[in-house]
Structure 1
Amino acid sequence: MKKIFFTLVAMSAILVACEGKPSAATKTTEAEDSTVLVLFDGETFNGWRGYNKDHVPGKWTIEDGAIKINGGGAGEAQSAEGGDIIFDRKFKNFELELEWKVAKGSNSGIFYLAQEIEGKPIYISAPEYQILDNENHPDAKLGVNGNRQSASLYDMVAAVPQNSKPFGEWNTTKILVYKGTVVHYQNGEPVVEYHLWTPQWKELLDKSKFSAEKWPDAYELLINCGGENHEGYIGLQDHGDDVWFRNIKVKILD
């Protein structure tokens, strides 16, 4: 993971040097930092709605300070009261942090830079941070070299090391998106790094289920992920399984 380490060091230097950004000596606390947005207050769905909907579908509830998707099988995800949810604001350069846990055998995901397209699923326009019970879900053995396991860039880049916790235990996630560089963290470790809008990104798409040959609609959207302004929605996936999310916040980096 040397490449990730050196990239993060360089990016940290850039961020500290940026005009208007506080130095290490003057940095405010998180509570005082206006660039940190709490996306879930632990009690309400304020700011959230269903993808291509004006309300939060009924399969989503709040339980013990966490957002929960109550799974009823993959078919339920397509029902009127199922489906993915998004936070109703687009983000460009940011750090997303949250915690999640899954029931036994559960599958979900976190989408970012997503576009909202009528009649199309969210995952054809957005990279996906995979959420999975690696030990008990068949997807863990699909894909290539583990690229459908927890914290992976779904079907493209495997998370290394694979350090997810067993079902029923809370995991921490951070997703850094900064001027095309994306880093996935899981339980405090950087596990994936890739670079949007580059030859590397095109190569990843070409080798995935979203290639121009296999899924042209998805390829057209993902090759220029985030659209003209390189920004999009953050979304949580309903894959028909029980999954919990809490302590969701975003730090704006631009």
Structure 2
Amino acid sequence: MKKQMIFSVLCLLVGFVSLATAQQPPNTLTDVEKQNGWKLLFDGVSSSGWKSACKDGFPEKGWTLKDGTIGVAEMGGHEHIVGGDIVTKDQFNAFDLRFEFKLAPGGNSGLKYFVTRSEGDKGAVIGLEYQILDDKLHPDAKQGRDGNRTQASLYDLIKANKQEQFVNPPGQWNTGRIVVYPNNHVEHYLNGLKVLEYERGSPAFRELVANSKYKGFAHFGEAPKGRILLQDHGNAVSFRSIKIKALN
């Protein structure tokens, strides 16, 4: 009975979050959000505030701006062959970041944070990654360890503890959220529900890194500040309503 009540409450909470999202037009801020320090990272029409992760300027090909979204087209999963990843021009330390994403069936993408390019990475640009994935169709969901490459996970480090009934399927919009507190406590959310938390730089975090694909990068994920990155993984994905609030 108690579990049923908890499930009902969760359903109501997710319903309220979905309703609030539906009532607010994409790529806008309410007056209350503006008063509380929220800023749009994507205005719905331009690439202002974004640049290539590896070059100056915004990619001339690969990324599209249409119908209030920013995204990449399907390229068969071949990474970086057209546009490549893009990053914010600004850097951030402690923040509350919210965004909406829509992934094509079988797709793979991600949103990375604390991206610095200081690790000497070659190929894919590294950073702490909020995984965006079709868990049912993409093989990456079964790789890594214990599901730590599934949707909303901290990629290759911590599995997202999510309930599938609260996850919208590919082709529909989902809402992601990442909160990084000034004390380096981090939380991932999916559609309003918290799915994981960890402490940047803690012994437990460093042990996870030491057993991951990032083990060769010193101080991975521990930079005092960095950029936000949208990944070009060669699969169709769209983003909108990307907004951030600095936490001091």
TM range (shorter): 0.7 to 0.9
**Counterpart of 1:96?**
97
Supply the distance in 1 between the matched residues of 2:95 and 2:80 (Cα, whole angstroms): 30
CA contact (8 A) 1:51 1:83 kept: yes
The answer for the alignment partner of 2:189 in structure 1 is: 185
Q: For residues 172 and 138 of structure 1, what CA distance do their matches in structure 2 show?
A: 23
2:247 to 230, 234, 253: 253
Alignment check: 8 A CA contact 1:106 1:242 kept: yes
CA distance in 1 between partners of 2:199 and 2:124 (Å): 21
The 5 A counterparts of 1:1-254 are: 29-33=32-36, 35-57=37-59, 58-75=61-78, 77-79=79-81, 81-117=82-118, 120-121=122-123, 123-124=125-126, 126-163=127-164, 164-178=167-181, 179-211=183-215, 216=216, 219-222=217-220, 225-226=222-223, 230-254=224-248
Change (3 A) 1:59 1:173: same
- Tell me, what secondary structure is at the counterpart of 1:209? coil
Tell me the SS of whatever aligns to 2:218. Answer: helix
Look up the match of 1:8. Answer: none
Shift of 1:102: 0.5
Could you say what secondary structure the match of 1:31 adopts? helix
SS at match of 1:247: strand
CA offset digits 1:218-250 (Å, max 9, x no partner): x2140x621xxx110000000000001000000
Q: Do the aligned partners of residues 176 and 121 (structure 1) sit closer, same or farther apart at CA in structure 2, a change above 3 Å counting?
A: farther
SS in structure 1 of the partner of residue 243 of structure 2: strand
Residue 123 (structure 1) shift = 3.9
Give the C-alpha shift of residue 184 in structure 1. Answer: 0.3
Identity %: 42
In 2: Cα distance, 1:114 partner to 1:156 partner:
16
Partner Cα distance (1:221, 1:122) in 2: 18
CA distance in 1, matches of 2:133, 2:228: 18
Give the length in aligned residue pairs: 213
SS of the aligned residue for 1:220 comes to coil
Q: TM-score, normalised by structure 1?
A: 0.79
CA shift for structure 1 position 96: 0.4
Superposition misfits of 4+ residues, deviation over 2 angstroms: 116-124
Query: Which one-letter code corresponds to 2:33 in the other structure?
Result: E
SS in 1 for 2:205: helix
The answer as to whether partners of 2:77 and 2:108 remain within 8 angstroms in 1 is: no
Change over 3 Å in CA distance of 1:119–1:192 after alignment to 2? closer
Contact 2:109–2:133 (CA under 8 A) maintained in structure 1: yes
The answer as to whether partners of 1:147 and 1:153 remain within 8 angstroms in 2 is yes
CA deviation vs aligned residue, 1:72-106 (integer Å, no higher than 9, x gap)? 1343x333x32100010000000000000101111
- Check the 8 A contact 2:117/2:125 in 1, yes or no: no
